[in-house]
């Protein structure tokens, strides 16, 4: 019996690992390719579309100044640019800071959102911002983001040159990566996610997930879709699915770079990730039920991926862990033998090489410290995810059973004193 479970878990886990191998391969190929498109597009001399940048902000006084500062520094024709800060019921100085920028720079607008129209989370704020915006292209930045000056240029050039792209997704980097072990781990995770999952999926399937920040989307599409889904906790994933469904692809274009803050304490991290996980579970639920209605069945690929991640892979890992622990105390008469050790070692090495390959694509990340962090990551950070999924699943089930309303947890921000230093580190 233990044998049966053992093999079930093995195949579930390795199905996922093979998919990751496949994606990583695609990610690597995309890293070779995207520079070529960059060059090509620059020569195409397309006109600049008008752009509206939406920045939803709820109690962001610590970071909003920096964010707007980087908006001011964007290299984009000012007559085509509009920055809209949606101050969503902030109780701190967010509104004041934003207003002061608006006074100084005519292309910055502030929308103050007070009850009863506020508190509908990021989706609500974005929808509000959308309604007030005028740009042909809508870009979104989180309030803690400091995009590099050419970010908008790259995002829009992507849309202009790729008519099939509904949205262009840039790359985000972590500006507090060196703060502590947690941020270093998150930094490694985000880079791997972007090169493996985003670049990989883009390369093979012409899909990428909108990450909630540093992306550009055609206004026409947002209008057709009726904006963001206010019930979705991970509005970005949800939006991605609907964009695919219209038949567009979402391009991952790493030339457009933004820098953002990551949680510095486990508590904040936990809350943020729980929201993501719940959000993804919501998306699974929403699209799984209406899968037959979807026009673009390619969505199924991502849907299946999520389903696999949150149910099957997760289940496989849980079974595998349980067997591992039980086997320490009881003889389970496992017949698998040598191959299980081989798989364990290869599994670990795959993790390490995939992460290191992703890190190697960034100029400042492939170093000894990160190397050891990666080794540590497998046994610590990666395992935390298990508890997170359990918690998120539990909360989602509770929500559905008791018909609770979703509450948006806003990620806590930190004052970034050493920002500049970090960037160049």
Partner 1 sequence: MILTHKKRLPQILMLVGILFMTLFTNGIQVDAENSAGNDPKVLVVYSSQSGEVNDNVRMLDLLTGHFTMNITFINTSEIEENDLKNVTHLFYFGQMKEQLPNSFTSILDSFNGTVVALGHNVAQLGKRFSFVIPQGEAIFSKVLLMGKGEKVESIIPHTVLNVNTTKETEELIKVTHGSENVYPLFVKNKQNYYYASSDIKPPLSIYLGEVLHEVFDEEHENVHPGYIRLEDIHPMVNVEKLMAVAEELKKRDIPYLVAVIPVYTNPKTHEEYHMSDFPHVIKALKYMQDNGGNIVMHGYTHQFRKSETGEGYEFWDVENNMPIYHGPNEKVIKKTKQDFDTAADYEMYKKEQKEFEKKYVEEKLTKGIQELTNYGIYPLAFEAPHYTMSQNGYAVTSNHFSTYVGQVQVSDEDWEIMTTAPYITMPSFLKGMTLLPETMGYVQPNDSKVIKRMINDAKQYSIVRDGMVAAFFHPSHPDLDINDFIKLLDRMEKIPGIEWIDLKKMDHTVTADNVKIETDNGKRIDNIDNLGLYMSSFDYFLYHFKETVKGLTWWMVGVGALAVVLFTIYTFVTRKRLRRGRFG
Enumerate binding residues for partner 1 (CB under 8 A): 7, 10-11, 14, 17-18, 21, 24-25, 28, 31, 35, 195, 254, 335-336, 339-340, 342-343, 346-347, 349-350, 353-354, 356-357, 360-363, 366
d(CA 34, CA 40): 10
CB of 331 to partner 1, least distance (A): 15
CA 310, 183, 350 angle in degrees (round to 5)?
50
CB of 341 to partner 1, least distance (A): 10
Nearer to partner 1, 10 or 197 (CB): 10
Nearer to partner 1, 22 or 205 (CB): 22
Nearer to partner 1, 149 or 391 (CB): 149
CB of 28 to partner 1, least distance (A): 5
Nearer to partner 1, 339 or 400 (CB): 339
CB of 292 to partner 1, least distance (A): 30
How many alpha carbons fall within 13 Å on the CB side of residue 242? 19
Nearer to partner 1, 155 or 191 (CB): 191
CB of 143 to partner 1, least distance (A): 27
Residues 6+ apart with CB under 8 A from 2: 323, 326, 327, 332, 333, 334
Describe the strand order of the beta sheet including 51-57 as a list of residue ranges. Answer: 108-113, 81-88, 51-57, 137-140, 215-218, 165-174, 249-260, 146-147
Burial 283-317 (b: 16+ CB within 10 A, else e): bbeebeeeeeebebebbeebbebbbbbbebbbbbb
Nearer to partner 1, 121 or 254 (CB): 254
- What residues are paired with 55 via a beta bridge? 85
Residue 182: how many other CB atoms lie within 10 Å: 17
Nearer to partner 1, 116 or 337 (CB): 337
Residues 6+ apart with CB under 8 A from 402: none
d(CA 348, CA 270): 24
- Length in residues, the chain: 425
CB of 161 to partner 1, least distance (A): 20
CB of 152 to partner 1, least distance (A): 20
Residues 6+ apart with CB under 8 A from 233: 121, 275, 276, 278, 279, 282, 406, 408
């Amino acid at each position: 019996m233990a044998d049966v479970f053992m093999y079930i878990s093995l195949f579930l886990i390795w199905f996922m690992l093979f998919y990751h191998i496949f994606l990583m391969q695609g990610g690597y190929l995309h890293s070779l390719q995207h520079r070529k498109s960059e060059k090509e597009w620059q020569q195409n001399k397309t006109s600049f579309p008008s752009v509206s940048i939406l920045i939803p902000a709820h109690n962001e006084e610590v970071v909003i100044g920096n964010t707007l500062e980087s908006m001011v520094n964007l290299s984009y024709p000012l007559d085509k640019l509009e920055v809209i800060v949606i101050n969503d019921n902030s109780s701190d100085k967010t509104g004041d800071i934003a207003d002061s920028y608006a006074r100084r720079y005519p292309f910055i607008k502030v929308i103050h959102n007070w009850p009863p129209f506020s508190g509908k989370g990021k989706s609500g704020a974005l929808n509000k911002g959308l309604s007030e915006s005028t740009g042909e292209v809508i870009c979104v930045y989180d309030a803690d983001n400091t995009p590099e000056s050419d970010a908008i240029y790259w995002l829009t050039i992507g849309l202009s040159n790729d008519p099939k792209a509904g949205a262009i997704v840039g790359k985000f980097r972590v500006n507090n990566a060196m703060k502590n072990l947690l941020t270093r781990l998150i930094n490694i995770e985000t880079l791997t996610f972007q090169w493996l999952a985003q670049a990989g999926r883009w390369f093979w399937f012409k899909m990428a997930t909108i990450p909630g920040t540093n992306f550009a989307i055609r206004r026409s599409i947002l209008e057709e879709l009726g904006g963001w889904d206010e019930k979705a906790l991970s509005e970005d994933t949800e939006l991605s699915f609907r964009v695919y469904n219209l038949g567009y692809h979402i391009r991952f274009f790493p030339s457009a770079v933004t820098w953002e803050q990551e949680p510095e304490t486990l508590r904040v991290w936990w809350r943020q990730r729980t929201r993501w996980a719940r959000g993804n579970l919501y998306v699974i639920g929403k699209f799984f039920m209406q899968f037959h209605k979807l026009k673009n069945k390619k969505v199924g690929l991502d849907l299946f991926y999520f389903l696999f991640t949150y149910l099957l892979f997760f289940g496989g890992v849980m079974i595998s862990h349980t067997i591992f622990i039980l086997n320490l105390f009881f003889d389970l008469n496992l017949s698998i033998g040598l191959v299980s050790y081989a798989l364990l070692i290869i599994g670990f090495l795959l993790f390490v090489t995939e992460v290191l390959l992703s890190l190697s694509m960034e100029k400042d990340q492939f170093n000894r410290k990160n190397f050891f962090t990666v080794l540590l990551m497998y046994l610590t950070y990666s395992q935390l995810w298990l508890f997170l999924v359990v918690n998120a699943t539990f909360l989602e089930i509770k929500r559905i059973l008791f018909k609770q309303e979703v509450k948006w947890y806003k990620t806590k921000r930190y004052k970034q004193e050493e920002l500049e230093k970090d960037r160049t580190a």
